[in-house]
Amino acid sequence: MKVTQLGNGGGFDYNKVNSSFLVELNSKETFLVDCGYNIFTELRKIENDGYDLTKIKYVCITHHHSDHFGSLEIFCQYMYFVHNVTMTVFIPSYMRDMFEEFKVNKGYTSSMETDIDIVKVNVLRPSETYLQGKIRVIGTNHPGTKSLGYSIGDGNSCVFISGDTKAFFRIEDFVNELPYKNKLIFHDYSDWNVPSKNVHCCQSDFEAEYSKEFRDKVIKYHTGKEFIREREI
């Protein structure tokens, strides 16, 4: 199992790639977790360097903020019209209406609008599993919006990506209960340590909510800092 982190930037890091991950579960199933406003540009760059975008079968969206969702529409259109691939997209339930608003499920042929389905939408609900248990979902604590954390795994290994969230004790319980021997744990983190105003995890709530054993396993992301691009588990 291979994880490629495409970027580590937050919503205001205009000069950094948005936080996003490619999770290669096996040779036939690669997941893109989040597709922020500059991720399509990053995907086209790696495609030009030889990466086969048709390996990506699924897109998992944590929430509707633009640094996690902003280029999903153009990516799905590109995959359909250029590569003849209909993407399967997993989204929080409240985002279903946005797909109609942004017309992600519409295509254009000649000069006439048509009802071509260029994306298969799957509405997710926390505490449920999908794709025969390969995707497991938890609702997290991102004040002001609803966000999801994803576990993607099979066999003995999985990766957990928290999405935007404050530290939330249920995340540790969720990860500990995942039925995998090997786990990579990516958790949202901010160096702005003002818990009362910060809608992301910061040092104070990180230390207050989680055990030291769990904290030691966490890979902090969404920080805008340098990061390890590729990991295998």
The model's pLDDT over 11-58, given as tens digits with 9 standing for 90+, comes to 888 899 999 999 999 888 999 999 999 999 999 999 999 999 999 999
- Strand order through the sheet with 218-221: 129-130, 135-139, 148-154, 157-161, 182-188, 218-221
More confident residue, 99 or 187: 187
Q: What CATH number does residue 55 fall under?
A: 3.60.15.10
More confident residue, 185 or 113: 185
What pLDDT, on a 0 to 100 scale, did the predictor assign at position 97?
Answer: 83
Share of the chain above pLDDT 70, in %: 93
pLDDT (tens digit per residue) in 99-137 = 776 655 555 555 555 556 778 889 998 888 999 999 999
Please work out, in degrees rounded to the nearest 5, the angle formed at the alpha carbon of residue 145 by the alpha carbons of 107 and 214: 110
What pLDDT, on a 0 to 100 scale, did the predictor assign at position 144?
Answer: 87
Q: Which of 5, 36, 8, 38 minimizes the C-alpha distance to 21?
A: 5
More confident residue, 192 or 79: 79
Range of the domain at 221: 2-232
Q: Which of 232, 222, 152 minimizes the C-alpha distance to 7?
A: 222
Residue with tokens 């790639």: 17
What pLDDT, on a 0 to 100 scale, did the predictor assign at position 128?
Answer: 85
Q: Which of 103, 55, 49 minimizes the C-alpha distance to 79?
A: 55
What pLDDT, on a 0 to 100 scale, did the predictor assign at position 110?
Answer: 52
Q: If you average pLDDT over residues 167-194, what whole number do you get?
A: 95
For residue 204, CA distances in Å to 59, 194, 209 come to 32, 8, 9
**What is the tally of structural domains in the chain?**
1
pLDDT (tens digit per residue) in 135-179 = 999 999 999 899 999 999 999 999 999 999 999 999 999 999 999
Cα 139 from Cα 170, distance rounded (Å): 9
What pLDDT, on a 0 to 100 scale, did the predictor assign at position 192?
Answer: 85
Q: If you average pLDDT over residues 181-189, what whole number do you get?
A: 98
Cα 181 from Cα 54, distance rounded (Å): 29
